């Protein structure tokens, strides 16, 4: 069967804040792209994304008492010596302009700034406790109104297509010319070609058993890029958000860090505040320290969770500042104005990813990566709260400028030959789909137990051994069964899990999010030492792709 073919100037894979802002930038800014055809592929519906679930806000220097240098310093300290200063400065110093972009697109912010863990000032712009939803909604409205942007929902990108697949005789650099994508509604694989492809596929929280991420956060972009030859780095730095709601009927509802910024205190099962034992900032310490503190307290007491108490605040304040959380907790019988909220850590944000420069350029020509899927060097070994939405906007801006400036050269790289149709088995076995579901659960539980908040070399080696067997089984399923979204996701989380373990085994130290019982912390968390490490640009853990 011949595959349907679509051709665009710009192909964006994803539908979060990075993807939507990229589409708007490239399709509406004055540039030399003509025609300005922008295709956006998303594996499910557009609102299904981590961005829309972001609660806290977006970090940006907004008051005269604050400064870029202060925000940069806070970012470097949180990043534990692995941030790239040029990326940090580039992204933080353009924050006011990116906030103005959002306002121009119709985004509304509350009048007050809030503070979150690791920040030395109040600099978090927010809309109640649903900032991501507000930003995503307004960007999506703007995209729908733009005639140059065409959206393909329920289209799951399977693999990148490179020039040397189309013509094996090509000599020179590997160039990405598009993707194979599964139209989930019609169960058909289609071909999308483009002059430039942008991966904005988000993170990989679903590689872990407990996560704050949406169900589609399966590391698809990282796996695709790795299979095509891109370098991947620092996957050992999966940030665990300290506070997700602990309830039998809710497994991924985030309790924003802004609650701690407004005076919320973490308590153990005996009602005792415990975070001061772990860091001088107490409950407002950077996320990696808070997550480990909670993990240690739970192990010490044998409790299934800890508690976040902000009941000392007036009920009117809680309802106005945290309406979504207040309502959600009430749904589960928890009145946060009268009792503490039960919370546990959960996999939240991946600080590593596809290696890019500050413009989002990858190792492959005509392939960009922006947002959580990319490793720009902004986050280092641990992300500072509310820097993620800022990175999405800054990187989409940088990438759009880079594409505009080089469009004449990009446009010359058209191939005369077309990609071959998708050829894979047409039959499937419903019984085997059950096994795929079991393997999915096994990987996620394995990662949670052995590659979680606290690790050891022995645990990592056990995980690696089992993952090698799973990878072999997944390859057989992928090669011999009709393509299905569950198989694609299983293939991707298996690859990302394996790469994560490889990165973790290579890092012979405890730093930031990566904490190993076999290696003492590299320093005593002295701010001066961390800043010195950042200046000296410590190395990342790099894994070369498979091309």
Task: Please name which of 137, 158, 160 lies closest in space to residue 16, comparing C-alpha atoms.
Answer: 137
Q: How far apart are CA 541 and CA 114, in angstroms?
A: 34
CA dihedral 62, 68, 70, 74 (to 10 degrees): 100
CA atoms of 384 and 387, how far apart (whole Å): 6
Distances (CA, A) of 255 to 3, 168, 243, 250, 252: 44, 51, 6, 12, 10
Tokens in use for 297?
A: 């307290």
Sign of CA dihedral 149, 199, 155, 217: negative
- Report angle CA 334, 335, 336 to the nearest 5 degrees: 105
Q: Cα–Cα distances in Å, from 306 out to 117, 271, 296, 329, 465?
A: 18, 9, 11, 15, 33
Surface-to-core class of residue 409, CB atoms within 10 Å of its CB (0-12 exposed, 13-18 middle, 19+ buried): exposed
Residue (of 437, 457, 43, 453) closest to 208 by Cα position: 453
Extract the tokens encoding 114. 């809030």
Name the nearest CA neighbour of 130 among 331, 409, 328, 262. 328
Distance between the two ends of the chain, CA-based, in angstroms?
27
Alpha-carbon distance of 299 to 326, in angstroms, equals: 28
**Shortest CA distance to 192 belongs to which of 12, 381, 389?**
12
Q: Check residue 277 and report its DSSP letter.
A: G
Q: How far apart are CA 375 and CA 520, in angstroms?
A: 25
Is the Cβ–Cβ distance between 197 and 160 less than 8 Å? yes
Place of tokens 């019982």: 517
Tell me the C-alpha distance between 454 and 295, whole Å: 8
Q: How far apart are CA 96 and CA 67, in angstroms?
A: 12
Question: Taking a C-beta distance cutoff of 8 angstroms, is the pair 127, 55 a contact?
Answer: no
Strands 374-375 and 353-355: parallel
Residues, the chain, total? 547
**Active-site residue, 287 included:** yes
DSSP state, residue 425: -
DSSP-derived pairing of the beta strands 5-13 and 38-41? parallel
Annotated catalytic residue: which of 123, 287, 292, 507?
Answer: 287
- Closest residue by Cα to residue 10 from 151, 140, 127: 151
φ, ψ dihedrals at 460, nearest 5°? -65, -40
Catalytic residues: 287
């Amino acid at each position: 069967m011949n595959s349907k073919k679509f051709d665009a100037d710009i192909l964006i894979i994803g539908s979060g804040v990075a993807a939507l802002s990229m589409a708007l930038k490239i399709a509406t800014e004055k540039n030399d792209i003509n025609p300005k055809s922008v295709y956006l592929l998303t594996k499910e519906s557009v609102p299904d994304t981590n961005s829309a679930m972001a609660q806290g806000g977006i970090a940006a220097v907004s008051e005269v008492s604050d400064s870029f240098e202060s925000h940069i310093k806070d970012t470097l300290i949180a990043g534990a010596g692995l941030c790239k200063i040029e990326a940090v400065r580039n992204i933080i110093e353009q924050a006011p302009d990116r906030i103005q972009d959002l306002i121009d697109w119709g985004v509304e912010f509350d009048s007050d700034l809030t503070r979150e863990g690791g920040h030395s000032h109040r600099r978090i712009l927010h809309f109640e406790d649903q900032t991501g939803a507000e930003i995503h909604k307004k960007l999506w409205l703007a995209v729908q109104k733009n005639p140059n942007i065409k959206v393909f929902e329920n289209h799951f990108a399977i693999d990148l297509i490179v020039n040397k697949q189309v013509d094996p005789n090509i000599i020179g650099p590997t160039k990405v010319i598009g993707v194979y994508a599964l139209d989930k509604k019609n169960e058909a694989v289609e071909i999308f070609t483009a002059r430039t492809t942008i991966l904005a596929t988000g993170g990989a929280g679903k590689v872990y058993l407990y996560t704050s991420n949406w169900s589609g956060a399966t590391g698809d972009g990282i796996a695709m890029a790795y299979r095509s030859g891109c370098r991947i780095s620092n996957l050992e730095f999966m940030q665990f958000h300290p506070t997700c709601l602990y309830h039998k009927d809710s497994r991924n509802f985030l309790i924003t860090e802004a609650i701690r910024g407004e005076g919320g205190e973490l308590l153990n099962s005996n009602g005792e505040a415990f975070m001061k034992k772990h860091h001088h900032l107490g409950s407002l310490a950077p996320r990696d320290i808070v997550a480990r503190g909670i993990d240690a307290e739970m192990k010490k007491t044998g409790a299934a969770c800890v508690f976040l108490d902000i009941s000392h605040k007036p009920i009117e304040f809680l309802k106005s500042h945290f309406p979504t959380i207040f309502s959600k907790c009430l749904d589960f019988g928890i009145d946060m104005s009268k009792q503490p909220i039960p919370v546990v850590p959960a996999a939240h944000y991946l600080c590593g990813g596809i290696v890019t420069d500050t413009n989002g350029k990858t190792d492959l020509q005509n392939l960009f990566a922006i947002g959580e899927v990319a490793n720009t060097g902004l986050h280092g070994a641990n992300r500072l709260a509310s820097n993620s939405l800022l990175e999405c906007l800054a990187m989409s801006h940088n990438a759009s400028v880079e594409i505009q400036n080089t469009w004449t050269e990009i446009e010359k790289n058209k191939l005369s030959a077309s990609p071959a149709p998708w050829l894979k088995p047409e039959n499937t076995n419903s019984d085997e789909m059950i096994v795929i579901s079991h393997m999915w659960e096994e990987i996620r539980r394995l990662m949670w137990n052995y590659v979680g908040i606290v690790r050891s070399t022995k645990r990592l080696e056990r995980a690696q051994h089992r993952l090698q067997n799973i990878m072999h089984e997944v390859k057989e399923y992928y090669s011999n069964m009709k393509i299905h979204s569950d198989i694609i996701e299983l293939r991707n989380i298996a690859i990302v899990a394996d790469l994560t373990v490889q990165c973790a085994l290579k890092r012979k130290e405890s730093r930031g999010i990566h904490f190993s019982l076999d290696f003492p912390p590299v320093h005593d968390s002295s701010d001066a030492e961390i800043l010195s490490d950042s200046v000296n640009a410590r190395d990342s853990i790099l894994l070369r792709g498979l091309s």
